[in-house]
Structures are given as structure tokens and as C-alpha cells.
Chain A
């Protein structure tokens, strides 16, 4: 038995990196400390896909890696509108190869941001974003606002490590030195801890941001008595909490990005932060889900100029979520082949998108069975990043961390698999060119 320290958790966007595990016979047998319950379960693993498979006469049949990769390459090379989707629960090294593959086949490459924090990215493109690393919050933020997000359930270590419950240089007393405010459509375990809880009517976030902004800008007088179910008095109290803080941080979740006004709620949230910044120091940050959803956005940006939903059909990068994101393409029935990696669109996409996906040839690369593998035509199992394969990931605050390889495996890594597919595609294209 050996103890491995400083293990990085490949689960959520918090990317906790101080985990200790016990390894016995090339298996993680125990998580000693650092991980939350969900992280523990991820680290200890469960039933894997045993072998690559190809669907023959409607039934998945086991095959070799070589056969599966070759077949996948043939499908992709001849496709007219291929989609390469997922990329958030794998490492940046694999993402890079995926982008090169999309470029090679004139496809669209997109990650799970388009169904979670893609709207936040669109908002940043309109107004930018004042943000900071999580340690800055730990050391300085004396007002923490969770808006449409419930870390007590979704990012279990977040408050303890980085925000409300943590202790920092200028806040040695931890939560005694801080205030917590929560805005949400329902009462949550997080809201129960808050000094101020504003229960907003669904779809009214934009209005409430505008009202808080107006107060912060000095026009309390024009704000009506009630906005989105929140009495004016409470709106003014929230604005005053912001003004009186030394450093306030707003964390927002998918409750804001996926409701009415979508990305523009975030545009307004960011502008609210800027309005607060006229009085004090402020920052705002999306609570990102998959551990490397941000990493794909980073890699895709430096390699193509754009963070996700990049369409290479004309040879150069064209970016226009709403048109080029995977849910757009599938919902409109545009794609003729899809490669899915490290994600499960069958569980997370709208029904019409899933219906189209089920109609076209689908290649999936993943360590585990999921509802998408149910109808996939080629299934390629892979090593689990952060446990069996190493590489870069980017935390929700843009801090890059290298996940570790803790145990050995016979599974190929995502990076190797996609690289092999790319090589095969190039070989096919070269042959065609002759």
C-alpha cells in the first residue's frame, strides 16, 4: 500500500489539488483526505467499458482499438458536416488534438460549455469580466454573493476552500469576518446560511440586476417598490452591503445562465459588479461544472481565436454560438457524423438534438457506459484523466493545474486515441489526394 499526496480531483471546476489517496495493487482503495463525497466516488471509480466496440447489425460487438479507430476515421473523413463534441472531462493535451482533427476534416468542435457556461462566455465578449483567482477571494473577499448557484450541494468544497467558510490573510476569522448573500429562485442549503436571501421569481434576474445597478449608480429614486418579487428595501440593502464591503465577489451558476435572457443576465451581472466597483473592489465568477470545461475554452481560444463552437467548414475558424454550437447543429439536424468524447449528450441535450444524434453515425470515447453509448456506433474506452493519465486542466478561475497519473492502465488515453484517429484521417486524405 502506498499513500499518494497532492492528487488533483478530476471532477468539478474547483479542481481541489490537496487530496491524499491510498493505492494498493494499482487501484485507489481509499481517499484519505481532501475530496468531497462526489470527488471520492469519482476517484474510486466504477464499472468500465471493457473493450472497443463497433455496432454490427444493430448490436455492439467487441473489436480491437485499431479496428475502432480506423472505422471512426473513415466516417469522419467523408463527413460533410461532422461535429466533435465533449472535451470538458479530459485534459488540454487531448483537446489540442481534437481541434487539429476538426480543422483537418472541416468540422465543428464544441465543448460542454454550450450547455452550461457558454452564455457566460458570450457575456464576457460583450462587456469583459472583472475576476480574480480563488485565493484572492479567500484572502480578501468580505462579501460573498452566490446568485443562482448552490455550492453546498454542487461544489461541495468551494465554500470551505475558497470563499465564505475559508480563512485568509486579511480575514483570519473566516466567516466571522465575512458576509454571505444568496439570490435564488428557491431556498437552498446555501441560502439558509446567508445574512441576506432574496428569493427571486423565475426569469426575473435581469430586472433585479438592473435595479441593483440603478441603486449602485445613485438612482434609488427611480426603482419601483418591488422587482422580480423582491421588495425595494431588500434591493437597497444588497446594494449597501456591496458598497460597505472592502471586496465583494459574486459567484453565479446555471440558474442564471439558463433562464430567461440567458447570457444577457450575465452581461447585466457583470455590469452590476462594475457598478459596485465604483464604490469598492468587486469581482464575479461563473461556477463551472466539469473540471476542465474551462481548459477546453482556453486551448480552443489560443489555437483558433475562439473559446467553443468553432466551425472549420470553410477552412478558417468561424464562431457563432446560436448557429455553430452543438445543440444548434443537432437541433437543426445539420450534422452527418458526431464524435463524442468525455461527455454524455444523451442525458444533457434537448430532446430534438438527442433524436438527431440517434439517427446519425456516432463515435464515443469515454471510460464509462452512459446513455449516449447506448446508441453509439463505435465505442472506444479510454483511460481516466487525473487517475490513469496526466495533463493540464484549468480551474474555474483560469489557474492551470496538472492532473496526475496515480495508477497504471492498459486503456489508451483520450489524447492517444484522438491522435490515432487524426493520423488515420490524414492517411485517407492523402490517398484521396493522389
Chain B
């Protein structure tokens, strides 16, 4: 491993430190950015773009659901296969690649951190086992806490302290990073093949999704959590859902954030920005969503932008996957997880020949172009739901080139000209804004800027991406190619990619948050409630439930004390 590294002559984009396309030198010693180095290996980045390592805020890369997606798609696995090399294990897969491939492909795009956003607590060990086999990247995972019977009990009883105690226990037990919600209430109702809207009261539990969202946001803010609650709200993927989306945004208005960030991070909002009353009069309502985000500080979003082509959809939103499967008639896997959550998986083809898919494609771009402040919006494809993560360079080039957008618009279904604002939007992203939506902003949304991610200031992690592209380049094809394969990717001070080839594949770290709940009496009462749940309703014992330390060989622990 190179202990010291100097990257000279590069044009640096480091938005967190206010560096916007300046010629700067980056020095790294022992894996961290430093002021200067004595005896470094030198990389000459003359005429090239230098950014912090990419930070993905939301991509399904590991765990039971992802693996079920792999298991049932051998036809996807045979796409993109490559034999093993001296450095790399054998590679398979396109939308659901094997773990090793996931690490290599992200590294080639200059990414060094990925958030797995949906970890079923009962299956948390599985997520962490896959993390061990994803090389290079640092990772974290968000446990699903919203369809949980303990959560339901405390929401019903209004016991916010016990709820906070419980989420503290759960995040620690699963070695998780924060609080994830997926179709709160609705996923549990799927246990009876039913679903729930934002204000529908549950027959079994007597509470509404809105109450669950508000209660979990408040519980989350009782700690200095690095990240807001991470919400995939109710009613994903249905025409006309934008109204419920806006109502959902209002639910956490007025909750005070314990740190400098949003209260609610709303994920893959493309799927929630739909107008119309059916698939026939389906239209984009991205504008209404973007306007709300522009006016309000308590929300941040990521987009879930569509990549045209075949992919594998997967979410804890069981009822949504079922309705998608009913449309396509393709294979469908479902897995309800006792007392906690569920999952559905089905393959899907986004076709430019289909009106609805073409409009969906525009919505993910509209959201990014209409939200004025790039710190509030993150680039995702909700991998692999709206498309695989290796489509990011396509999205980047599309955001940076109005010309490319117009070319695609002219090739896909003509409905886009009537049902979407995209054709009339002239805005083009610059490299600084790209750096925000792919690393600086995402690191801030996840609270990782305090922990060395998303920037190149002294003390930050030595995670650097060098793209072989001139800062002035406007050609979409060249931009796409440059962002697909870096000139160099450096992870923790080590060169892991050179000229688009993986040259080293070190193990990554797992980032965990440990919320510290102070009131021991309340914590004990919560534990006693939990013991009852395990004794009577779970199929495993409480002692065998928490994820053992063996599953995080390289942990990075973030303590979250109670908010003042």
C-alpha cells in the first residue's frame, strides 16, 4: 500500500469546502487527506477532473431481497460475466450483479461509499455477510423499523420514550445506520394481502401510516442521528399519487432536526410524482414535488431516475411489487418477514416505446432539474428498481447536456411532449453540481461529511476519483465514458482503479450508528416488552437475534447521544 500520495495539476471539485473547479493539489498520508506529504507517489492529473469518492445514498446492493433477485434471475447473471483475474473474482450479472462485481463496478465509477437502504432486521446478518464480500466500498445499512409490531404498540400507546429506546436497541442489534420506513403500515397489511394509504387506520393496530411516520421522525430526532428518517412512503408507483406524496411531506413539518440536515429523507421520489387517474392519462407531477422541496427545509430527496432497459425491481413494499407483477405477468417473489416487514421482487423492462415508461424516465430528470438547490436532491436510480447503478454515468451526461436530452426525447414515446415538463427545461448541470448530487450532498444527507466522506478537506478519507475529462467538455458521450471508468479511483489512500481497471480490491468498512438511550428504567421496560414478543411471536430467540461482531470485521462506529 502506498503510504503517501500526491495528486497534482488536477481540476478539483470539492463543494463542501467551496472548491469549484480549481487547480489544487491533493495529498494523502495513511489513508487520510493531509496538508502536505514528504515522499509521495505522484499522480499527474493535468487537465483532468478530481472529485471526492462518490457516495451513494440509496442502492439495494446486499441482503436477502437482493439475493432472492439474483437467485431467480440466472438470465440476468449471464449478462456481463467476466472471468477471474489476479485481482478480481469472477463476475456475473447486470441488474443484480454478484457482490464482488458490485464493488468493482462502483469503484470504476469513482464511488467509495454505498448505503444499502432496506435491511430487514431479522435478516440483518445476511446483509452484513454480503457486505463482507463487497470489496473496496465502505457500506452501511438502514434497518426497517416501520412495520414492526413493537413500533406499532408504542405508536398506538403514544409512548415516544419507549419508541426511542426501541429504535436505539434495534439499530444496535442490527448494526444499522438509521431508521428506514417502507410503506409504513401497508407492508404489514400485506400480511393479509392488503395495503394502506397515508391516513387509513389499520384494522389490526388502530393506527395510521401518518402517525407512524411522525412518531419515528420524532424518535429519530431524540438522538443526534447522522441521518434523517429515510422514507419510502405509501402508494408508490400509482397514477395520481403525487397528492398523497405532498401530504406525506407535511407529516413531519415542524419536527425539529437534532442536527444540520433534513428531518425526513424521501427516497426515489420519481415513483411518487405521478399525476393522472389511471395509466391511460398518466402524467408527470414532478413540478409540484420540486416546488414543495424548493420551499421547505425539512425534506431532502433522491430521485430514482429511470434507466431505459431491463432491470429487477425489489422493495420491502410487498403490495407494490405484487401489483407490478400483475401488470407484467413475469416472475414474482415475495417474502414477508414476521413482525417486521416484507419484500417483493419482479423483473421489469422500461421501454422507450411505452408512453408510461417514457414519462417515468422524464420525471427522474425533471426532479433533479427543477429542484433549485442541488444539496436537497441526490442522484439515484434506486438501484436496481429504476435501473442498475451502472446507469449513473448516463444520467450524469443527460443532466449536463440539453442536447442529449432532446435526442432521447425524440427517440422515445411522443407522450413525453404533452405529459412532462422536461422538453421545456434548459438547465444544464455543471461539474460542481454533479459533485454535489453524487458525493458532497449525499454525504451531507447521510451525515457522513463529519466522518470523512464527500469532501477533500484535511482529515477527510483519502477517497478520490479522477475522471479523464476536461472541465470544459460538453459532449455527452465523452462525459458518460469518463464517469463510467475513472482514470484513477483512490480508496483510503490506495489506488484501486487505474485506467478503468481494478488494480486492487481491499476490504471495505461497515459504518454503524450507536444511539445512546439514557433512561435505564425505560430501556428495561422496553426490553421486557420485547422479550414477550420474542417468546410468543418470533421464530428465533432474543439471544440469537442481534448481529454478532463477527459480521463487521472492519467497523466504523458513530455514537449518537441524546439530543440536547
Contact = CB atoms under 8 A, between A and B. Distances in A.
A130 interface: yes
B345 A316 contact: no
Contacts of B77: 305-306, 317, 319
A281 B322 CA distance: 11
Contact of A126 (B84, B125, B192, B331): B331
A117 interface: no
Interface stretch (A63-71, A132-140, A148-156, A407-415): A132-140
B89 A302 contact: no
Given A298-B126, A316-B90, A400-B123, A124 B335 contact: no
A283 B67 contact: no
Contact of A301 (B71, B149, B192): B71
B375 interface: no
Given A96-B133, A125-B72, A305-B74, A400 B126 contact: yes
Interface in A17-41: 17-18
Contacts of B541: 6, 17-18
A400 B332 contact: no
Contacts, number: 184
B84 A132 contact: no
A295 to B, nearest CB: 10
A147 interface: no
B100 A303 contact: yes
A126 to B, nearest CB: 7
Contact of A124 (B72, B92, B130): B72
Contact of B345 (A103, A128, A140, A305): A128
B122 A8 contact: no
Interface in B60-95: 62, 64, 66-68, 70-74, 77-78, 81-84, 89-93
Interface stretch (B36-44, B364-372, B396-404, B532-540): B532-540
A280 B345 CA distance: 19
Contacts of B543: 5-6
A402 B539 contact: no
Interface in A269-320: 274, 277, 280-281, 283, 297-299, 301-307, 312, 314-317, 319
B331 A127 contact: yes
A124 B71 contact: yes
B84 A135 contact: no
Interface residues of B, number: 63
B174 to A, nearest CB: 12
Contacts of A317: 77, 81, 90, 92, 98
B193 A302 contact: no
Would you call the interface of chain A mostly helix, strand, loop, or mixed? mixed
A135 B83 CA distance: 41
A167 B129 CA distance: 32
A302 B334 contact: no
B562 interface: no
Given A316-B84, A317-B92, A135 B98 contact: no
A361 interface: no
Interface in A94-135: 96, 100, 103, 121, 124-135
A161 interface: yes
A315 B84 contact: yes
Contacts of A312: 84, 90
Interface in B302-331: 322, 325, 331
A281 B216 CA distance: 29
A34 B74 CA distance: 39
Given A103-B84, A132-B335, A161-B539, A306 B74 contact: yes
Interface in B24-51: none
B457 to A, nearest CB: 36
Contact of B133 (A127, A303, A319, A394): A303
| Smallest CB-CB A-B distances: 3 pairs | A315-B83, A135-B338, A305-B92
15 contacts: A6-B544, A124-B333, A128-B325, A128-B331, A128-B333, A133-B336, A133-B337, A280-B193, A314-B83, A316-B84, A317-B92, A398-B68, A398-B123, A398-B335, A401-B540
Interface of A: 5-6, 8, 17-18, 92, 96, 100, 103, 121, 124-136, 138-140, 161-162, 167-170, 246-247, 274, 277, 280-281, 283, 297-299, 301-307, 312, 314-317, 319, 390, 392, 394, 398-402
